[in-house]
C-alpha cells in the first residue's frame, strides 16, 4: 500500500465530506451552517490542493483545476461571511437569508468541484488496477 496515495485520497474525501457537511441544511438558516465547518473545509481543501501540485499527468492537471475551483468558491463564501458579519456589522441571523443563501450556494459550487475530483480519483484508481 502506498502511504502517499492513502494520504492524498484521505484529504480529497475529507474535503468533500466537510464541504458537504457545511452545505447540507436549510438554505437560509445560519444555524445549519457553522462558520468553523466552513473554515475546516477551506483548510482541508487548501491542503488537498497543495498535495496535487506534484502530479504531472493530465489527470493530475484536471484534479488540480477542480481543487482550485473548490478553493476559490469556499474562499469567496468565507469572504461574503466576513464582509457581512465583521465589516458591515450585521448579525448572521435568520433575517439575512439572502446572505446565507449566497454563502451556501458558493459552497455548493465547491461541493460539485469536490465531487468531480473524487470521481476522477476513483476512475484513475480503477484504470490503474487493470
pLDDT in tens, 50-83: 988 877 788 888 999 999 999 999 999 999 989 9
Residue 35's Cα: distance from chain center in Å?
A: 13
What does DSSP assign to residue 89? -
Closest CA to 60 of 124, 1, 13, 14: 124
Closest CA to 64 of 82, 48, 78: 48
Task: Please give the sequence-ordered ranges of beta strands (E in DSSP) within the chain, or none if there are none.
Answer: none
Q: What is the pLDDT of residues 75-104, one digit of tens each?
A: 999 999 899 888 887 777 665 567 888 889
Closest CA to 9 of 130, 109, 128: 128
Structural domain boundaries in the chain: 3-129
Amino acid at each position: 500500500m502506498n502511504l502517499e496515495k492513502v494520504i492524498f485520497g484521505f484529504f480529497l474525501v475529507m474535503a468533500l465530506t466537510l464541504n458537504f457537511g457545511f452545505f447540507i441544511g436549510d438554505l437560509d438558516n445560519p444555524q445549519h451552517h457553522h462558520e468553523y465547518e466552513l473554515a475546516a473545509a477551506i483548510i482541508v481543501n487548501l491542503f488537498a490542493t497543495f498535495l496535487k501540485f506534484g502530479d504531472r499527468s493530465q489527470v493530475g492537471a484536471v484534479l488540480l483545476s477542480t481543487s482550485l475551483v473548490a478553493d476559490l468558491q469556499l474562499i469567496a463564501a468565507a469572504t461574503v461571511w466576513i464582509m457581512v458579519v465583521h465589516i458591515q456589522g450585521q448579525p448572521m441571523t435568520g433575517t439575512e437569508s439572502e446572505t446565507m443563501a449566497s454563502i451556501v450556494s458558493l459552497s455548493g459550487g465547491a461541493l460539485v468541484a469536490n465531487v468531480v475530483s473524487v470521481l476522477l480519483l476513483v476512475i484513475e484508481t480503477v484504470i490503474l488496477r487493470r
